[in-house]
């Protein structure tokens, strides 16, 4: 089974959306007062614009830039205007999905470049209004001038209402924490990938060391303990593996969206670790939990349960598990063999013929097993039992 990587998405966009929905009215209402009423002769906020070298012989100017909001998110699909009086648009451009814009064919001169956005009007309804601007921008013939709108600058933030400034600071802090967490998770994912590679290569000490580091870095993530359990299981450190699978399951089942296949696989591996530790009873419970968590793979989990019981000589219990495995997946060959084996424990011998008298269903189980797995040591054993009971053994069972 391909396990799920640890993934925690960045919350920046969601946080931005939430605060923007809450505070955009306050932000833009403030901006109407600050910049919407008039265009002062000089702007304390204006950023310096840079230009490419003028092209010889050109008669018009070009402009490009980027717009980002106070939470460092691009401002998409909004209007950028060039004006000389703050009222009449001489050229209009639109930002793209990344907050970038560009335009050409502009008459050289000195302009005010205005960024528009949704603001709350005097009637309380949302409308298009000025959210930022740059003054005294000189556009030169043949040059491509860069004019950005960086609304994260302190000069801009300081003009906003105190409650909005507080919200922005809180979201920035949360975003920084999210970025730190994502960086940490990226490192943990690498540890897991490297540990899997080491495990595959047979370097189990390295795998265990890497997985241990991952659990130390993210002790609250079930997958890290699961991976450590896998490495310890491969190293035959069964009690340690069982302990860590249990930790994994506690966390995996508590997730907001538990993954049934992962929980089932963890229970299955726990069953193996417990069985090899001699705790057959709890191993059976783990296999049962695996089948319950992911019924689509119940045939495999019940078969594993039957095998453990078969190996420990628990005939009737092994037969019951085999029956469940067959019901879930009628193509599990070993389940039919175990069922036949469990029934043959109750066979008797006819004193007149000295032949084995098989209980009902036993011969059928062995025949089905042979039809699915006609070769190998177990096939020979099944054939011998059928022959001793005077049953017909088809020659086709001996074919591949």
pLDDT along the chain (400 residues), means of 10: 41 39 38 36 42 74 95 92 92 96 96 90 83 94 96 90 88 80 83 96 97 95 96 98 98 96 97 97 98 97 97 96 97 96 92 88 96 92 91 58
Does residue 359 form part of some domain? no
Residue (of 167, 175, 156) closest to 117 by Cα position = 156
Q: Which residues 6+ apart lie within 8 Å of 182 measured at CB?
A: 8, 10
Residue 71 placed within a domain: yes
37: domain CATH number? 2.60.40.10
HSE (side-chain half, CA atoms, 13 Å) at 45: 26
Residue 194 lies in a domain: no
Asked if the structure places residue 77 within a domain, the reply is yes
pLDDT of residue 9: 37
Residue 356: inside a domain: no
> What domain range includes position 66?
23-160
User: How high is the pLDDT of residue 179?
Assistant: 76
- Does a structural domain hold residue 86? yes
The whole-number pLDDT of residue 50 equals 59
What was the pLDDT predicted at 53? 65
171 within a domain of the structure (yes/no): no
CB atoms within 10 A of CB 90: 13
Q: Alpha carbon of 106 to those of 57, 112, 149, 189, 358: distances in Å?
A: 15, 13, 19, 51, 98
Residue 350 and residue 220: Cα distance in Å, rounded?
63
Q: In angstroms, rounded to a whole number, what is the distance separating the alpha carbons of residues 292 and 288?
A: 6
Examine residue 384 and state whether it is found in any structural domain, yes or no. no
| Residue of 196, 174, 180 whose CA lies nearest to 5 | 196
What pLDDT, on a 0 to 100 scale, did the predictor assign at position 176?
79
> What's the confidence (pLDDT) of residue 125?
84
Number of domains in the chain: 1
């Amino acid at each position: 089974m391909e396990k799920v990587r640890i993934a925690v998405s960045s919350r920046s966009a969601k946080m931005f959306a939430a605060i923007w929905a809450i505070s955009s009215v306050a932000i833009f209402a403030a901006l109407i007062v600050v910049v919407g009423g008039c265009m002062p002769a000089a702007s304390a906020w204006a950023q310096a614009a840079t230009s490419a070298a003028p092209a010889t012989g050109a008669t018009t100017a070009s402009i490009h830039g980027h717009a980002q909001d106070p939470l460092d998110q691009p401002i998409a699909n909004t209007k950028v205007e060039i004006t000389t009086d703050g009222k009449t648009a001489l050229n209009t451009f639109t930002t793209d999905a990344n907050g970038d814009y560009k335009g050409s064919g502009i008459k050289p001169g000195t302009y005010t470049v205005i960024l528009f956005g949704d603001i709350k009007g005097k009637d309380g309804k949302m409308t298009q209004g000025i959210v930022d601007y740059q003054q005294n921008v000189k556009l030169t013939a043949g040059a491509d001038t860069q004019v950005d709108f960086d609304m994260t600058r302190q000069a801009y933030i300081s003009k906003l209402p105190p409650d909005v400034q507080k919200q922005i600071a809180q979201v920035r802090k949360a975003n920084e924490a999210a970025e730190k967490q994502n960086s940490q998770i990226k490192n943990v994912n690498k540890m897991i990938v490297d540990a899997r590679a080491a495990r595959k290569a047979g370097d189990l000490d390295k795998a265990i060391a890497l997985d241990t580091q991952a659990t130390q870095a993210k002790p609250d993530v079930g997958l890290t303990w699961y991976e450590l359990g896998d490495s310890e299981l491969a190293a035959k450190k069964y009690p340690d593996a069982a302990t860590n699978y249990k930790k994994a399951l506690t966390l995996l089942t508590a997730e907001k969206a538990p993954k049934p296949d992962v929980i089932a696989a963890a229970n299955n591996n726990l069953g193996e670790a417990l069985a090899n530790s001699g705790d057959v009873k709890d191993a059976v419970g783990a296999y049962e939990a695996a089948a319950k968590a992911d019924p689509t793979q119940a045939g495999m989990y019940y078969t594993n349960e039957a095998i453990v019981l078969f190996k420990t000589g628990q005939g009737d219990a092994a037969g019951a598990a085999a029956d469940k495995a067959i019901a879930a997946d009628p193509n599990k060959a070993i389940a039919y063999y175990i069922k036949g084996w469990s029934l043959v424990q109750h066979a008797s011998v006819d004193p007149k013929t000295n032949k084995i008298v098989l209980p009902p269903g036993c011969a059928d189980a062995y025949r089905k097993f042979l039809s699915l797995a006609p070769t190998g040591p177990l096939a020979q054993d099944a054939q011998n039992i059928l022959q001793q009971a005077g049953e017909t053994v088809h020659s086709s069972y001996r074919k591949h």
